[in-house]
Structure 1
Amino acid sequence: MADLTYQTKVLVIGAGLAGITTSLELIEKGHQVLLLDAGLEENWGGQAKEAFGGMLFSNTPEQKRNGIADSNELFWQDWQTAAAFKPEDRWAKRWAKAYVEYNSSQVYDWLKKRGISFFPVVQWVERGKYGDGNSVPRYHLAWGCGQGLVKALLQRLNEHPNYRALTTVFSHQVIGFSFTQGRVTGCFGNSTNGSFSVQAEHTVICSGGINGNLDKVRQHWDPIYGPPPKNLLSGAHPSANGALHDQVEQLGGEVRNLNYMWNYAAGVAHPKPAYPNQGLSLIPPRSALWLDCYGRRLGPEPLITGYDTHDLCKQIGHLPQQYTWQVMNKRIADKELAISGSDTNPNFRDKKLLKVIWQALKGNSAQTLELMNQCVDVVSGQNLGELAAKMQELQPQVPIDLEGMTRDIASYDAMLKGPKALHNDDQIRRLNEIRQWRGDRLRTCKLQPIVDAKHLPLIALRLRLISRKSMGGLLTDLQGRVLNSQERPLIGLYAAGEAAGFGGGGIAGIRSLEGTFLSNCIFNGRRVAQAINAG
């Protein structure tokens, strides 16, 4: 018999954004809820709390103020192009269609009514290398980052008139589900005070994905990205280990598309890691030159961020050694280099608008210096010879081709300095295109050469693939009910957020339009709560 026993109408497993949203929606309807998490109470919000806070919306006031003409038809066309759904992805496709139709009313408006606002300039990410991504800017940044988003919803939860209907317990690790008379009736596991069990009429899994478990990531690694990297960094907490996926499969539940992941191409080692192999996900400068492990420029088509993250990961995963270099000068780093996340963007996180504007105008020299001084993957030098020597010291078994690197950089710089009419380089064409959008103009240098005596030192980043989000997961219908292989519901069991592949076991298909993760934690959570309330 368990040392601790709980009884509730609805059990929500996981206190991340999906779990918080589900719980808030349920207590608003007067339901008794037990919200349970394996972590500590200070970790409320999970990965969402650490995120930069971008969400993909269409037909918003911000888009209209920025002169962006969008429509559900265009949004749906873009989503399907990026997703490349398979015939068996019918539930994922239904979730995607529902999100396209209701993202504004069910997520954007819902957040605005709860005190969350968005940065006035809409960003244009994942536009696709050939127009096969977001046709228009849709990436809305929550003012205050993911941390501000989580804090606002937690405040609503704690101040809600029905807050007494919610019980929260932390440091409770679920290890299995109870199954009685043909339905899931709760869970059991271990806590710091001994074993526990929960009896519940409805159980909702909001426990995240698999990407904090690098062994499981490598197990499901899609060969499209090359062989599973030995040098893979982790951008997700180890608690995102996929353990409950395995438990649901034992009940007969269906797990799909775990090979679909949203990893990033520009990870560096975290200077102060909280867990093994922890990395930082960089937003790499577009004006830098992206080089292979030997220091030679990648091409003939250059690698540039902001167009197709999926393709960047594919290319780098097939390169020798599965890591790359980016070479730039300090001006480029100060102006364009960024680190994704709440804590690495304190001005945005703390809603200091004037400082955000000033940083956009003047750059972030403090961040550059911090990376140079503290990150093992960042080296610098006063000339290319010194820089190459530092690169070689960092990776002594892989020879840096200084002569070839010097030639590649000199050729690029010479073209930048030459007549504009003779600019015949895809990276230069992309940079000119990027600067046409106001959201990118302030954040992108105006055709800055790499070797420039006025902007030393030269800086090289050693970039590795970094594991981040699961795009596959538990198969769910539009009520969030977990389905079996025959696509019939496991009575009493639901899933939301990353655990469900953000809806239907993979709402984004093989390639996300970006910003589909936080927003679908909310969309999934609300849908599940509404289904439970409808009874």
Structure 2
Amino acid sequence: MDTQKYDVVIIGAGIAGMVAAYECLNSNLSVLLIDRNSQDHLGGLAKLSFGGMALVNTPLQKRLGIKDSPSLALNDWLSFANFGENDYYPKLWAETYVNESLGQVYHWLRGFDLKFFPVVNWVERGLYQRGNSVPRYHVLWGTGHRLVERFSELLRNHKHNQKLKILFEHKVTELIKENNQIVGCIAEFESLPQQVVKFHSNFTIVATGGITGNLEKVRNNWYEPWGKPPTEMLNGAHPYSDGLVHMAVSRIGGNVTHLDKMWNYAAGIPHPKPQFENHGLSLIPCKSALWLDHTGKRIGPEPLVTGYDTNDLCYRISKLEKPYTWQVMNWRIASKELAISGSEHNPMIRDRKLFSFLKEILLGNHRLLRQLQNESDHFLVANDLRTLVDRMNQLNQNNFIEFETIERELKFYDEGIKRGKTFWNDDQIRRILQARTWKSEKFRTCNPKPILDPKSGPLIAIKLRLITRKSLGGIQTDLDSRVLDLKGNPMPGLYAIGEAAGFGGGGASGFKSLEGTFLSGCILTARSAANSIRKLN
């Protein structure tokens, strides 16, 4: 077996691994960055992400009149997290995040000429519990694609870049433990398992992501109080996010916790150009659409509305009789409100085309709707409701949706709107109006008008399923990102960062996230690990 030696071996070349590699190079350490995927996938899911980050008390917030503070953010975080008595390190990481995101993430990224779009979005406002009391969701101008490209440049042009090796298409299967210290790992060539290499290192960092790319593991770790997992789900991560190295950490005595805590989304559709089985796209669903069950009946009694509590949306949908839902709207609503999360379907932001982006915001994103109409069989368009219902049933190859049922739901909603603002007494409309009070949301949320209004364009129905995304649990770590054993003791030589570590401590978000804590959590934990290694080296 071939053996190679490095100061630091980093398993996983997503954004957490790239940041850790950059910081270790700053300490003049030799670094090996190993990834299962091919070179064109450097950066992993971060490169495909929208680039949103929950940041606290930033100059951008102050410029917009948002009064935020670490103490307010921590109270919001704890409300959503619902930590248990034994969640000592997750709580510490939550406190670290709200106190350090300004300097360690916002200002640090700005120093690399990475800029944020000059608005702050307000997501996860909370439903039954307080969520984000104020807007905190900062979007990188250029999305996660720009973040990854920038760090690729930084690594490539680093003054110590001769000390960096990036090895693609290699799968780490085991960690090497000698004299109670982790001294490296064993990897095999992805397409030739018999080709095995041993890597020795003073420090090993796990940055492999979570488990949500493996739907079987998602189902096996489904949150028990929710009952059985849906029979159909889409994969919004990647098959390589399968927890393989989590198991390797467990085998050598590391503590892996809270794998039943996940951050999934309620509105997925099959990817029109899938790269793997059950490959899905995560939609940002329309607030003004009616969310219906498999029969065409409005889900209630409390309507489903995005932007308040994603976790609750997933819970309620997972309890339905069928594993899919429908959103029904018109072209006017969809052109203003519908979006797809990630860099792939947001080219104006990704490519930093400001004029084109503003044009789509102000006039509607008709480009995206036409693309979906042409590419997705789950995006149905019709000039009248009866034709739309026929197409919905044809897609499902059944007659579950009765025209009279869906017509009654839409007409009842529309009649309430027609009575005028004085008599708007629908909870969905209340939330729409509340969302429109914030500047950036007003441009992306329609003023209520009847859905069946012929002047608002053709009708649209979208068939949706739950789609996986992030693991909130993971390998337990301390504030130095050192992996802890079952007794809470650091395992010499072993670190975990990013999603692999549950974004810190094996579950920094607790039960549900304030959203936007993932990219920034990767950066914080990666910098923490590199700083700890620098002190020990």
- Normalising by the smaller structure, the TM-score range is over 0.9
Q: For residues 499-521 of structure 1, what are the alpha-carbon distances to aligned partners after superposition, in whole Å with 9 as ceiling and x for unaligned?
A: 00010000000010000000010
- TM-score, normalized by length of structure 2? 0.98
**520 and 398 in structure 1: CA distance in 2 versus 1, 3 angstrom threshold:** farther
Alignment of 1:309-458 (within 5 A): 309-397=310-398, 399-458=400-459
- Mean alpha-carbon deviation: is it higher for 502-511 or for 454-463? 454-463
**Alignment match, 1:49:** 47
**Alignment match, 1:34:** 32
Alignment of 1:48-447 (within 5 A): 48-130=46-128, 132-191=130-189, 194-397=195-398, 399-447=400-448
Inter-partner Cα distance in structure 1 for 2:227 and 2:324: 12
Inter-partner Cα distance in structure 2 for 1:350 and 1:470: 29
Name the SS for the 1:75 alignment partner.
Answer: helix
- Mean alpha-carbon deviation: is it higher for 155-164 or for 203-212? 155-164
Shift of 1:395: 1.6
Inter-partner Cα distance in structure 1 for 2:247 and 2:421: 58
One-letter amino acid of the counterpart of residue 484, structure 1: D
Name the SS for the 1:39 alignment partner.
Answer: coil
**Alignment match, 1:6:** 4
**Alignment match, 2:488:** 487
Inter-partner Cα distance in structure 1 for 2:273 and 2:215: 19
Equivalent pair of 2:80/2:129 in contact (CA under 8 Å): no
- Mean alpha-carbon deviation: is it higher for 190-199 or for 6-15? 190-199
Equivalent pair of 1:224/1:314 in contact (CA under 8 Å): no
Name the SS for the 1:393 alignment partner.
Answer: helix
Shift of 1:225: 3.9
Q: For residues 457-507 of structure 1, what are the alpha-carbon distances to aligned partners after superposition, in whole Å with 9 as ceiling and x for unaligned?
A: 111011100011100000101111111111111111100000000100000
Equivalent pair of 2:331/2:456 in contact (CA under 8 Å): yes
Equivalent pair of 1:293/1:398 in contact (CA under 8 Å): no
**Alignment match, 1:520:** 521
One-letter amino acid of the counterpart of residue 113, structure 2: G
Q: For residues 310-367 of structure 1, what are the alpha-carbon distances to aligned partners after superposition, in whole Å with 9 as ceiling and x for unaligned?
A: 0000000001112110000111111111000101100000011111111000111121
| Poorly superposed stretches of 4+, deviation over 3 Å | 223-226
One-letter amino acid of the counterpart of residue 61, structure 2: Q
Q: For residues 90-126 of structure 1, what are the alpha-carbon distances to aligned partners after superposition, in whole Å with 9 as ceiling and x for unaligned?
A: 1111111111111111111111111111000000000
Inter-partner Cα distance in structure 2 for 1:75 and 1:44: 32
Sequence identity (%): 47
Name the SS for the 2:254 alignment partner.
Answer: coil
Inter-partner Cα distance in structure 2 for 1:359 and 1:235: 25
Inter-partner Cα distance in structure 2 for 1:509 and 1:128: 15
- Mean alpha-carbon deviation: is it higher for 106-115 or for 397-406? 397-406
- TM-score, normalized by length of structure 1? 0.98
Inter-partner Cα distance in structure 2 for 1:51 and 1:521: 13
Inter-partner Cα distance in structure 1 for 2:364 and 2:150: 29
Inter-partner Cα distance in structure 1 for 2:233 and 2:224: 15
Q: For residues 263-297 of structure 1, what are the alpha-carbon distances to aligned partners after superposition, in whole Å with 9 as ceiling and x for unaligned?
A: 00000011110000000000001111111111011
Alignment of 1:7-22 (within 5 A): 7-22=5-20
Shift of 1:397: 3.8
**384 and 20 in structure 1: CA distance in 2 versus 1, 3 angstrom threshold:** same
- Mean alpha-carbon deviation: is it higher for 414-423 or for 138-147? 414-423
Shift of 1:173: 1.1
Inter-partner Cα distance in structure 2 for 1:470 and 1:64: 32
One-letter amino acid of the counterpart of residue 469, structure 2: R
Name the SS for the 1:187 alignment partner.
Answer: strand
Shift of 1:131: 6.0
Q: Which runs of 5+ in 1 are unaligned?
A: none
Inter-partner Cα distance in structure 2 for 1:357 and 1:131: 34
Inter-partner Cα distance in structure 1 for 2:225 and 2:514: 19
One-letter amino acid of the counterpart of residue 85, structure 1: F
**Alignment match, 1:503:** 504
Shift of 1:398: 5.6
Name the SS for the 2:91 alignment partner.
Answer: helix
One-letter amino acid of the counterpart of residue 14, structure 2: G
Inter-partner Cα distance in structure 1 for 2:366 and 2:514: 30
Name the SS for the 2:114 alignment partner.
Answer: coil
Q: For residues 162-206 of structure 1, what are the alpha-carbon distances to aligned partners after superposition, in whole Å with 9 as ceiling and x for unaligned?
A: 212211111111111111111111011212672111010110000
Q: Which runs of 5+ in 2 are unaligned?
A: none
Shift of 1:304: 0.5
Equivalent pair of 1:385/1:402 in contact (CA under 8 Å): yes
Inter-partner Cα distance in structure 1 for 2:319 and 2:76: 27
One-letter amino acid of the counterpart of residue 186, structure 2: F
Inter-partner Cα distance in structure 2 for 1:532 and 1:429: 51
